[in-house]
Amino acid sequence: MDFKFEIAKLLADAAGISPEDAVAAVEVPANKAMGDYAFPCFRLAKTFRKAPPLIAQELIAKLEQPAFLSKMEVVGAYVNFFLDKGVYAEQILRRVLSEKENYGKSDIGKGKTIVIDYSSPNIAKPFHVGHLRSTVIGNAIYKIYEELGYHCVGINHLGDWGTQFGKLIVAYKNWGSKEAVERDGIQELMRIYVKFHDEAEHASALEDEARLWFVKMQDGDEEALSLWKWFYDISIKEFERVYNMLGVKFDAYTGESFYNDKMAPVVEELKQKQLLKESEGAMIVDLEDKNMPPCLIIRKDGGTLYATRDITAALYRKKTYNFDKCVYLTALDQNLHFAQWFEVIHKMGYDWYQNLIHVPFGLVSLDSGKLSTRHGNVVLMEELLNQAISETKKIIEEKNPDLADKENVAKQVGIGAVIFNDLYNTRIKDVVFSWERMLNFDGETGPYVQYTHTRACSILRRAEELPTADAQIDFSTLSDEVSLDVCKLLEAFPAKISDAADKLEPSVVTRHLVAIAQAFNKFYHDNPILSSEPATRQARLAVVLAVENVLKEGLRLLGIDAPEQM
């Protein structure tokens, strides 16, 4: 039962307004003494030409109190509604126990496809903490949309093409060796890449040489492509290792290079539609009418750019997947880039440009400043995750040395702490990276939610008989406020998933899990469970079972494991 909707239906009939207007007007009072739901009568004053308090009195006189309400009353201009706690708890808990891991799932996205472009690290550069946000936010959005019935396509649009590979080839030829690259892999590639930028500050000819090597790559030069493929293969091995640690998978690894042989027809289409203009030897699409700088399509040396490849990729994805939405997760500072090429798609005459969505997020920076692979100022992702696991293991050794499967639990909790910490922040917020904050196991953290889940599991393990969805349970024993608070948060869980999808904001789910964990721990503290009277015990165990189920499913949506013991 949707209690808010049922109350709104009563009000709609009594006030002569539409159910939609009534639903929109019903509020949840901040003060619990004012009821579980309230209807303000101010908006009806103009229609009825009466004072709102008088309208409230007339409305309540017309309402017949349903069984799911314990009380209705007027306070000033408000009609307040108080739920029967037992009836309310029964409705929510039976539904959770019945639907189990499907609680929160829906089919609103059935028949619709959403393409999600996330992570997208650059080949030949180490996977560092700056890549964390796109990876875990994208992974969570994928799982959240999948929960709502959408067909999701996760794409890792690798940065595996462009002038930076010309730079790397020049760097390798000047300061690298086959032996060093084979021995040290991506670390050696990063070393020579940083060396290139240090040297290029004093020798600008290096930049010109790098551009020429990239043009050779585009033209199919055998040596250039052979070196590029070597760097690519080394990088993919490293990335896969990190993705496996994070539990992240993709449906396609179609990076920028994938579109190299698909750009010429797109450039030709731009020409035919008279959108391309020459500017200082380069080819651009003029966006002055949209108050934006021109979108550069072909450089004066003939090289393509990010925009060329992104436009080509969008056209390919629409043709291949016929998406209803195509979402791009990148840093906030790329807003202009996406606005420009989205507008190019619009000018090409494709009305689906409106379904291209840039989802920006704030940057991760070090205490000492912005992350930069050009200067080697990075925290490597694998090192971070291993450190998190190591720190977690120390805590387990101290607090629960006899725990079975310590290694696996340390991995689940350590990596979960890193992911949760990132997803707890609203994505637009900049994050200053701090080891201490990242690995803090107190407060509103992943380990706190995971520990709450293990607490619920422990209670359920010790219970002789677990309640079922259709069992005879006296839910009137759940008449205290803390029990009701837990049930309200459980009821809100499906709506929070939908809200997170609408806003493309996983923190909606993350913060709700913290709220459930906090409410449950208060419930656990205030209410004896296994030692209570049989009738009360079964009702309280129903709460425990429902919370265990929702916390586990909520953590899964965030890409985090829910251990049963810690």
Task: Give the residue numbers annotated as catalytic, written as ranges.
Answer: 125, 128, 131
d(C-alpha 554, C-alpha 545), whole Å: 14
- Tally Cβ neighbours within 10 Å of residue 99: 15
Q: Tokens standing for 32? A: 């619990």
DSSP-assigned beta bridge partners for residue 40: 78
d(C-alpha 65, C-alpha 395), whole Å: 54
507 alpha carbon, distance to own chain's centre: 7
Assign residue 376 a region: left if phi > 0, alpha if psi is -120 to 50, beta otherwise? left
- Tally Cβ neighbours within 10 Å of residue 543: 28
Nearest CA to 551 out of 489, 467, 501, 495 is that of 489
Residue type, 289: D
Which residues does 466 contact at the CB level (< 8 Å), separation at least 6?
A: 460, 541, 545
Write down the residue that tokens 């189920």 correspond to. Answer: 549
370 alpha carbon, distance to own chain's centre: 23
End-to-end Cα distance, the chain = 36
Q: Tokens standing for 556? A: 């899964």
Q: Tokens standing for 108? A: 């609103």
